[in-house]
Chain A
Amino acid sequence: MKKIKLDITVNGVKHSLKVDPNLRLLDLLREELDLTGTKEGCGIGECGACTVILDGKAVNSCLILAGQCAGREIVTIEGLSDGEKLHPLQQAFLDHGAVQCGFCTPGMILSAAALLHANPAPTEDEIRVAISGNLCRCTGYTQIVEAVQAAAGKDKGDWWLQI
C-alpha cells in the first residue's frame, strides 16, 4: 500500500499531506487533522453524522476516499464559527432546543448550511428534504426545522459561503 500525496483545503486552510490510500475523508478529518467535530455514526451512509461540505455540497465523509478530495475544498463544523462567535445556524440550534445529545448536530448543521448556501429562503418541505439524510433520535426534528427556518437569510457574507 503506497501512500498518496494530497493537497486539500479544509476550513480555508491548505494542507499538503501524505496519506494511506485507503483512508476515508472522515478518517482524514478526525485522525490526521484532529477535527473531531465530524462524527462517525453508522459508517455506511445511512445516518449523516459524518456530513461535511465538499465544494459547496453536503456529502457523507464516510463514503469518500481522502484521495478523491485532492484539490478540493472541505468545510467541517469547526469552520462555521468565527472564533467564539457562533454561526447563525449554530446559535439558532441552541435557541430552539435543536440540540439534545448532540451527536447528529454537526452533520445536521452542515446539511442545513449547504441548503441555505444554495437556497437562502427554503420552504419547510425543502428543509425536511435537505436534512432527510441526517438521523436524529432525540429531538423529533421539529426544533431542528424551526432552527433552520430562523437562521434562513441570516448567514450572508460568511466566509465559507464564498467557496
Chain B
Amino acid sequence: MIPFNFIRPASLAEALDFLAENGERTEIIAGGTDLLVELRGIPAGKKGPKWVVDISGLPELKGIREEGEEIIVGSGSTHWEVHTSELIRETAPLLAAASATVGAAQHRNIATIGGNIMNASPAADTVPALIALEASAVLRSREGERVRPLSGIFVKPYQTDAAPGEILTAVRFRRLPAEAKSAFVKLGRRNALAISRMNAAVVLFLRDGVISEARIAPGSATPMPERFAAAEKILIGQKPSEELFRAAGAAVAAEMVDRSGRRWSTPYKEPVIAALTARALREALAG
C-alpha cells in the first residue's frame, strides 16, 4: 500500500475545515470498499493522496428521516441501513431493492450510499434508483450548502462536479405515493457480489388504468446515469401491456446506442437493456 496520512475528524465542521485547506491532495473515505481497492492498485513509487480523511463515523451524515413529503438519507447511511429501513421500504422500495443488491453482506455493512454516488461509477446500483426518484444531492463546504439535482452532478465516469472542499451530506427526494409503482432490476455475472453489467430503475404512475407518468433510469448504459425521455414518452397515455413494455425496452436500447455509440459491447448490451427495462416495468406493475 502506498503511503498516506490518515485523519479522523470528530465533526463535520472539522472535516470541512480540513478539506478547505487540504482538499486538493485528499481522498475522502467512508465505507472504503471502492477506495481501498483503488489505493491498493496504485503501484509503489507512484504518487497517491497525501491525506485520507475518514468521514465514516460522523454523526451528521447518519440517519434516514422524513421531513414533510421529503425523505432525507444521510450520505453515511450504509446499504444495510438503507435496505432494512422501514421508511425507505415504504416510500422508495426501488432504492431499498438497489441497496440490497450492492456487493455482499460484507460490503453492504460498511459501504455507504454517499460513497456509491460520489465514486460516480456508471455501474452504481443506487444511482439509477435515486435518479428515478428525482433525488437531489446536498453538498456542503465550509462556505455553505448547495442542493442540486443528483443527475446534474456527474461530469464523466468516476467524476462528479463536487469541489475538493465539498462533502455530500445527504440525498433527498419526495416520497413515492402509495399508488406509485416502481422496481429496480439488475443483471450481474452472478446473483451475489457482482457489479452490475446493466441495471434499470423505473417508476410508473397510473390514472384510470392509463400511465400518467413514467420514469426510466438505466444503469451502465450511458457514461453518466440519466433518464431516457424517449422511452418514457412511449408509455405515457397508454394502458400497460406486454407489447407496450417491450416497445419501451426497445426504445431504451435505441436511445442507449444514440448516446453511447456502438462499441464492442453493444451487441450484448442492446438486447439486455431492452429485456431488463421490460422486466422492470413488468415487476413495477405487478407491485
* A44 x B40 contact (CB < 8 A): yes
B4 interface neighbour in A1, A45, A48, Cβ under 8 Å = A1
**A residues less than 8 Å from B37 (CB atoms):** 44-45, 63
- How many angstroms from the CA of A62 to the CA of B35 in the assembled complex? 11
**A residues less than 8 Å from B40 (CB atoms):** 43-44
Q: 28 interchain pairs (CB within 8 A)?
A: A20-B3, A22-B1, A22-B6, A22-B39, A43-B40, A46-B193, A48-B104, A48-B106, A57-B110, A58-B105, A59-B106, A59-B110, A60-B33, A60-B107, A62-B36, A63-B36, A63-B107, A64-B36, A65-B32, A65-B36, A65-B52, A67-B8, A68-B29, A70-B8, A111-B106, A115-B105, A133-B106, A133-B192
**B residues less than 8 Å from A91 (CB atoms):** none
Within 8 A of B (CB), among A73-131: 111, 114-115, 129-130
**B residues less than 8 Å from A48 (CB atoms):** 104, 106
* A68 x B54 contact (CB < 8 A): yes
**B residues less than 8 Å from A63 (CB atoms):** 31-33, 36-37, 106-107, 110
Task: Report if A68-B32 is in contact (Cβ < 8 Å); known contacts: A21-B52, A129-B192.
Answer: yes
- How many angstroms from the CA of A115 to the CA of B109 in the assembled complex? 12
B5 interface neighbour in A2, A58, A114, A132, Cβ under 8 Å = A2
Q: How large is the interface on B (under 10, 10 to 19, 20 to 34, 35 or more residues)?
A: 20 to 34
- How many angstroms from the CA of A4 to the CA of B54 in the assembled complex? 13
B2 at the interface (CB under 8 A from A): yes
As a 0/1 sequence over residues 29 to 73 of chain A, the CB contacts with chain B under 8 angstroms (1 = contact) are 000000000000001111010010010011110111101101000
B245 at the interface (CB under 8 A from A): no
Residue of B nearest to A43 (CB): B40
- How many angstroms from the CA of A46 to the CA of B107 in the assembled complex? 10
Find the residue from A4, A21, A63 having the highest chain B CB count within 10 A. Answer: A63
B154 at the interface (CB under 8 A from A): no
Find the residue from B1, B6, B191 having the highest chain A CB count within 10 A. Answer: B6
* B105 x A129 contact (CB < 8 A): yes
* B105 x A65 contact (CB < 8 A): no
* A21 x B36 contact (CB < 8 A): no
B219 at the interface (CB under 8 A from A): no
As a 0/1 sequence over residues 45 to 79 of chain B, the CB contacts with chain A under 8 angstroms (1 = contact) are 00000001010110000000000000000000000
* B54 x A132 contact (CB < 8 A): no
What count of chain A residues pass the 8 Å CB interface test? 34
* B1 x A130 contact (CB < 8 A): no
* B193 x A132 contact (CB < 8 A): yes
Within 8 A of A (CB), among B69-104: 80, 103-104
- How many angstroms from the CA of A54 to the CA of B109 in the assembled complex? 9
**B residues less than 8 Å from A70 (CB atoms):** 8
**A residues less than 8 Å from B5 (CB atoms):** 1-2, 21
Within 8 A of A (CB), among B104-131: 104-107, 109-110
- How many angstroms from the CA of A20 to the CA of B32 in the assembled complex? 17
- How many angstroms from the CA of A156 to the CA of B116 in the assembled complex? 36
Within 8 A of A (CB), among B23-47: 29, 31-33, 36-37, 39-40
- How many angstroms from the CA of A132 to the CA of B52 in the assembled complex? 30
**B residues less than 8 Å from A23 (CB atoms):** 1
A4 interface neighbour in B6, B29, B36, B105, Cβ under 8 Å = B6
**B residues less than 8 Å from A2 (CB atoms):** 5
Residue of B nearest to A45 (CB): B33
Task: Report if A21-B6 is in contact (Cβ < 8 Å); known contacts: A57-B80, A63-B33.
Answer: yes
- How many angstroms from the CA of A111 to the CA of B32 in the assembled complex? 19
* B4 x A21 contact (CB < 8 A): yes
B104 interface neighbour in A54, A62, A133, Cβ under 8 Å = A133
**A residues less than 8 Å from B193 (CB atoms):** 46, 132-133
- How many angstroms from the CA of A77 to the CA of B193 in the assembled complex? 23
**B residues less than 8 Å from A51 (CB atoms):** 106
Given contacts A22-B39, A57-B109, 18 further A-B contacts (CB under 8 A): A21-B4, A21-B6, A22-B1, A22-B6, A44-B40, A45-B37, A45-B106, A57-B105, A58-B109, A63-B106, A64-B32, A65-B32, A65-B52, A65-B54, A68-B8, A68-B54, A68-B56, A70-B8
